[in-house]
Amino acid sequence: MCFSATASFVAGGALGAVGGVTMAEVKIKAEMPLASIPLIFGIQQTIEGVIWVSFGVPLLNTVMTYVYLTFAYVLWPVFVPVAVVLIETDPARKNILRALSLAGFVLGMYLLYFIVTDPGKAHIVNQSIAYDYRHLYELFPLSLYVVVTCGSGLISSHRILNIFAIGALISFFIANWLFNMTFISVWCFFAAVLSVLIYWHFKRTSVAGRQVEAG
């Protein structure tokens, strides 16, 4: 979490547990990427916890900052649209999601290039962690990031993924408005909390499947 090391580790552990339970609900392999999102967010929050406690250890802090930036800026725009397209059954929506997956991959590679060549640094601002990484905050990359991550859920034919995407979009504006200097850390925390909805999606799907089998 973005407000303390303890909160980061607690959030990471809780999300890891939710992720494990969510993945246990998976019935087919294509669902596994989506089901793993809470677990991945848990790992990311744990990494930020390590960043909190590593400010006196420069090498560890630098390595963990690299890893966190890779999660935040590279993994999510690549992973989210792919995870959504794999469970989509509507052909028209699936084609749009394929296009978003390609756009997300291109964006992820673009941002990865700058993480390698011009890495950001982490520092504490107002009880949160700020990451000095200017390349995402240019208008086009930031807009495309929101489109491929939030847009994927909005396009999905699954209602709970729509709700997740709307929540992520609202939290984007809140984080950008109220926590501008620590925006990415705060937004990732909000999105991590919202990822619990993915468990709800699989739980409802599992219950519905059992009801069909019983009927």
SS3 track for the chain:
CCCCHHHHHHHHHHHHHHHHHHHHCCCCHHHHHHHCHHHHHHHHHHHHHHHHHCCCCHHHHHHHHHHHHHHHHHHHHHHHHHHHHHHCCCHHHHHHHHHHHHHHHHHHHHHHHHHHHCCCCEEEECCEEEECCHHHHCHHHHHHHHHHHHHHHHHCCCHHHHHHHHHHHHHHHHHHHHCHHHHHHHHHHHHHHHCHHHHHHHHHHHHHHHHHHHC
**56-60, 81-85, 185-189: which is most confident:** 81-85
* pLDDT, position 212: 34
pLDDT digit string, tens, across residues 111-154: 999 888 877 788 888 778 888 877 777 889 999 999 999 999 99
Q: How many domains does the chain have?
A: 1
Domain range enclosing 202: 5-214
Query: Model-level pTM greater than 0.85?
Result: yes
